[in-house]
Amino acid sequence: MKHIKVFLLLTLLGCATVNAQDRYQIDGVISGNVEGRTVHLLSGGNEGGRKLVDSTIIRGGKFQFKGTVERPGPFAVKIYQTADRSNFKENLVWIGRPYVPLFLSNETIRIEAVLDSIPLTALKTFGYDFSKVHVTGSRVNAGYMEYIQKMMSLLNAKKTFEAPYKAYLAKRPNAPVSEGLSAIKQIDSIDFLIKDFVKKFVNKYQDNPISVYAFREAIMSSNEGMFTTAEIDDLLAVFSSAIKATQYFKSTAAIANETKKYAVGKKFTDLDLVDAGYKQVKLSDYVGKGKYVLLDFWGPWCAPCRKEFPYVKDTYKRYHPEGLEIIAISVDNHKDRWPKAMQEENLPYQNLAYPKHPFDFKNEDAVKAYAYWAIPFYLLIAPDGTIVDRNAHGSYLDKKLIEIYGNKLSVNGK
């Protein structure tokens, strides 16, 4: 399996729980210098994107939140020790504050902790040390705590294996291709463990909404596609009848089944696009015509996309004589941004764009054609129009093209 971008797209997820209780209650007991401190209840699992739901004041070392969630999902309780609500200092240093992540459903949760022992928020991190915080009362949240602790250990291990690969990418093109190919083998080994953990977690918690959350995150956090179509079917069958009856499961199953249309081995899906002259064209005008075609989905404002262009162009230079075609497909066809970026990048292959931005930011359940969740995204299509590889990039693309054409890559273009 290729490098899974487990940056964990942790969004507010959807359904009513199978619990009979129809309201949540969060009871906090915090010791230390806490009297009069403000506490926020925020929705979302990503610190940079959390939204305020409610606030209260700590009195006598206690606080409480009550309410209803239509959809269970990740939340956080954050304690502010001053009146300052900003996230960054003047020098752009992140301001960490005591917080407790929760997976909130309509159940009662109790939090007990010493203020100075509560971990602080960080802008880019995943996982949480619950050894300093005692959280009880909710079976859904208990599963969530297990999930993020285990996933944290796997992702920390993955960072160790990613370091050599990142070092290789920084040295390109002055590094042997074999170095990159060796590095991704280590990453693949951790990706396998992540996949195995999610499978086992879903089976263990098949009668708990947290299993749907874990499955949904696995589906929606990877451009590569963590599971095969057969594995998706097997996992969907695992959930209990009570869970399957919820809207939460139904929306997640719909997403999973939609992604199967774009799996490796499936026929490509046609797209309505525009060319560089804003003439309407179709993807089928270019693919399934007897050649391998690499689709590179990007945006003019996407720095990682444009950073990769020199290597994509080099790939084209080396493999186009062998029959490889590349099509750059911009998700943004703005008449200032797109033409300017095309001129700056001077891409030697076909440039197309969506007539309308494909990302539906208002609908969290939307699955665009090819089921990718971030850019850059790469799709390799075979001469007969079947999908060969999802998100083949960097050394993963090198590996696939060597399998198809042989090694046309070397250090310094020699």
The DSSP output letter for 215 is H
For residue 208, with 0-12 CB atoms within 10 Å meaning exposed, 13-18 middle and 19 or more buried, which class applies? Answer: buried
Please give the pLDDT value at position 18. Answer: 40
Q: What b/e string do you get for 210-233 counting C-beta neighbours within 10 Å, with b at 16 or more?
A: bbbbbbbbbbbbbbbbbbebeebe
CATH code for the structural domain at 24-137: 2.60.40
Please give the pLDDT value at position 410. Answer: 57
For residue 209, with 0-12 CB atoms within 10 Å meaning exposed, 13-18 middle and 19 or more buried, which class applies? Answer: buried
Q: Using the structure block, give the residue that is written with the tokens 């956090």.
A: 221
Q: At what angle do helices 209-220 and 139-171 cross, to 10 degrees?
A: 20
Give CA–CA dist 256/400, Å, rounded.
Answer: 26
Is residue 114 within 8 A of residue 32, CB to CB? The reply is: yes
- Classify 103 as helix, strand or coil: strand
**Any bridge partners for residue 266, and if so which?**
none
Q: Using the structure block, give the residue that is written with the tokens 């997403």.
A: 255
CATH code for the structural domain at 266-405: 3.40.30.10
pLDDT band at 10 (very low <50, low <70, confident <90, very high): very low
Domain assignments of the chain as residue spans, ordered by start: 24-137, 144-261, 266-405
Instruction: Characterise 196 by phi-psi region: left (phi > 0), alpha (psi -120 to 50), beta (else).
Output: alpha
Residue 66 phi, psi dihedral angles, 5° rounding: -135, 150
pLDDT band at 371 (very low <50, low <70, confident <90, very high): confident
Helix (H) or strand (E) holding 40: strand 38-43
Please give the pLDDT value at position 45. Answer: 83
Please give the pLDDT value at position 105. Answer: 92
C-alpha separations of 117 from 75, 112, 200, 246, 305 in Å: 20, 11, 32, 38, 41
More confident residue, 222 or 27: 27
Concatenated DSSP letters of 333-398:
--TTHHHHHHHHHT-SSEEEE-SS----TT-TT---TT---SSSEEEEE-TTSBEEEES--HHHHH
- Classify 55 as helix, strand or coil: strand
Computed over every residue of the chain, the mean pLDDT equals 88
Give CA–CA dist 231/237, Å, rounded.
Answer: 10
Structure tokens at 297: 């989905």
pLDDT band at 301 (very low <50, low <70, confident <90, very high): very high
Give CA–CA dist 104/279, Å, rounded.
Answer: 49
